[in-house]
């Protein structure tokens, strides 16, 4: 079974594609083109909304948006990946009022205006090679591309230039994108994706502290040490996702209250023993009656474990012990599968088949219940491992997966 590879577009190709979509729809040339990457996360999953640590990087796969400002407040949007033109008056954008993909873009304009920036209406055309709903954050790529394009055409001065990105300004754009997704698109997000898309740097992992929003750029050049990171898009249909994500967040929040801390991050930093935490969570009346204490103990164990694993991976990379990252990925997968219970058969088969074929380790990434997995492999074995995963999917009768060899790409610009 031969693996199918998901190609990325060059920046020039993506720009030209977006300009063409714009021209075909609006019969004019766009004033500017913005683009932003999807992301993968090496380690630290479901830790962002617990004020924890995450360790993502930007993909080469990007979303492109061609955009022209209007004098009025009308927003007209078209996407090569969607059928209908999406139209709204910016003055009428409000939480809970919208459905559909355009809400991600209109929401960014709304959030920037809420923050006091002079944004009006605009016409925009979108196209992307980031796969949808694959856990690679096409939604954040869409928001971030809109954010930098709006920054450019309305002269907000927040993004900086390609060579000299303005990280403080980008933090403002990140917040606008998060508000767009949470409040206008109505999708839950913890904030990792938007930071990765706007604040990552080419050739680097982004160590993001979700408590302070502080970042550290960590060099990520696997091919220099004969390794590669394989991304496996399982193409599994997302099921049950919305309710499950909200439940996990609610359990973490209830556990933090029971433990007397603002977020689970504080417990991770306090270095308390697992037994002590379990005893406190399972004490009568510690948790609200809709939370199962035994389940909460496992959920907390995952979050604390993954924050610790991020720290261990940072140390391993720093010491040049890159191969040893592999087993930590698999450890994280087991934790997500058994303690956090957000995996699914396709993700488990992807990780197990990759490891059986010689990967150094692997795990599901993103929210779970579908989406993508990563596997750390020897560079010259990437094809072999991908073929083995494709064969395992065929054996199980699953939809054929898609593959990428990850490279840490540039942020939104």
Tell me the catalytic residues.
193
Residue 79 interacts with, from Mg ion, ligand ADP, none (CB under 5-8 Å by kind): ligand ADP
Which of 291, 335, 286 is CA-nearest to residue 310? 335
Is position 335 an interface residue for ligand ADP (rule: CB under 6 A)?
Answer: no
Angle (deg, nearest 10), helices 345-356 and 325-334: 150
Angle (deg, nearest 10), helices 138-153 and 102-114: 50
- CB atoms under 10 Å from CB of 252, counted, come to 24
Q: Closest CB to Mg ion among 139 and 234?
A: 139
Is position 104 an interface residue for ligand ADP (rule: CB under 6 A)?
Answer: yes
Contact code string over 104-143 relative to Mg ion, x by CB under 5 A: ---------------------------------x-x----
Q: How far is the CB of 54 from ligand ADP (least distance, A)?
A: 15
Q: Closest CB to ligand ADP among 322 and 340?
A: 340
Residue 404 interacts with, from Mg ion, ligand ADP, none (CB under 5-8 Å by kind): none
Ranges of beta strands (E only) in 290-384 are 361-364, 372-378
Is position 101 an interface residue for ligand ADP (rule: CB under 6 A)?
Answer: yes
The residue with tokens 């779970």 is 368
Residues ≥6 apart with Cβ < 8 Å to 240: 369
Q: How far is the CB of 154 from ligand ADP (least distance, A)?
A: 21
Q: How far is the CB of 143 from ligand ADP (least distance, A)?
A: 9
- Identify the burial level of 318 via C-beta atoms within 10 angstroms of its C-beta, where 0-12 means exposed, 13-18 middle and 19 or more buried: exposed
CA atoms within 13 A on the CB side of 193: 31
Task: Please tell me the distance from the alpha carbon of residue 207 to that of residue 408, in angstroms, as a whole number.
Answer: 13
Q: Closest CB to ligand ADP among 102 and 121?
A: 102
Q: Closest CB to ligand ADP among 134 and 196?
A: 134
Residues 120-139 that bind ligand ADP (CB under 6 A): 126, 128, 132-139
Q: Closest CB to ligand ADP among 175 and 197?
A: 197
Q: Which residue is nearest to Mg ion (CB)?
A: 139
Relative to beta strand 86-89, strand 74-79 is antiparallel
Which of 327, 371, 328, 366 is CA-nearest to residue 347? 371
Contact code string over 163-192 relative to Mg ion, x by CB under 5 A: ------------------------------
Q: Where do contacts with Mg ion occur on this chain (CB under 5 A)?
A: 137, 139
Q: Where do contacts with ligand ADP occur on this chain (CB under 6 A)?
A: 63, 79, 81-82, 101, 104, 126, 128, 132-139, 142, 187
């Amino acid at each position: 079974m031969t693996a199918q590879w998901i190609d990325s577009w060059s920046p020039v190709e993506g720009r030209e594609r977006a300009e063409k979509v714009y021209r075909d729809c609006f019969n004019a040339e766009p004033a500017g083109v913005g683009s932003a990457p999807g992301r993968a996360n090496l380690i630290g999953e479901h830790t962002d909304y617990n004020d924890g640590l995450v360790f993502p990087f930007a993909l080469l796969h990007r979303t492109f948006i061609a955009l022209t400002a209007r004098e009025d407040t009308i927003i007209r949007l078209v996407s090569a990946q969607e059928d209908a033109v999406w139209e709204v008056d910016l003055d009428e954008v409000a939480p809970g009022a919208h459905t559909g993909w355009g809400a991600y873009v209109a929401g960014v304009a709304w959030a920037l205006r809420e923050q006091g920036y002079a944004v009006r209406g605009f016409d925009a055309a979108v196209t992307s090679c980031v796969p949808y709903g694959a856990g690679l954050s096409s939604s954040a790529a869409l928001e971030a591309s809109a954010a930098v394009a709006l920054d450019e055409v309305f002269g907000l001065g927040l993004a900086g230039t390609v060579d000299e990105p303005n990280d403080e300004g980008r933090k403002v754009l990140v917040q606008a994108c998060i508000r767009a997704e949470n409040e206008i698109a109505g999708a839950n997000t913890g904030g990792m994706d938007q930071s990765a898309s706007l604040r990552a740097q080419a050739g680097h992992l982004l160590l993001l502290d979700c408590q302070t929003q502080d970042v550290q750029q960590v060099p990520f050049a696997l091919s220099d040490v004969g390794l590669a990171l394989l991304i496996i898009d399982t193409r599994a249909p997302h099921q049950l996702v919305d309710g499950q994500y909200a439940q996990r967040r609610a359990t973490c929040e209830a556990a933090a209250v029971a433990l007397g801390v603002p977020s689970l991050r504080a417990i991770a930093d306090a270095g308390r023993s697992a037994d002590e935490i379990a005893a406190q969570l399972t004490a009568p009346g510690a948790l609200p009656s809709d939370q199962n204490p035994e389940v909460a103990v496992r959920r907390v164990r995952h979050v604390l474990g993954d924050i610790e694993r991020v720290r261990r991976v940072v140390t391993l990379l720093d010491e040049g012990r890159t191969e040893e990252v592999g087993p930590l990925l698999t450890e994280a997968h087991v934790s997500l599968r058994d303690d956090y219970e957000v995996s699914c058969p396709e993700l488990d088969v992807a990780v197990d088949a990759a490891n059986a074929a010689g990967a150094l380790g692997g795990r599901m990434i993103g929210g779970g219940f579908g989406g993508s997995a990563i596997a750390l492999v020897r560079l010259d074995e990437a094809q072999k491992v991908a073929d083995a995963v494709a064969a395992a999917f065929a054996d199980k009768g699953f939809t054929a997966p898609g593959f990428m060899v990850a490279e840490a790409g540039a942020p939104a610009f």
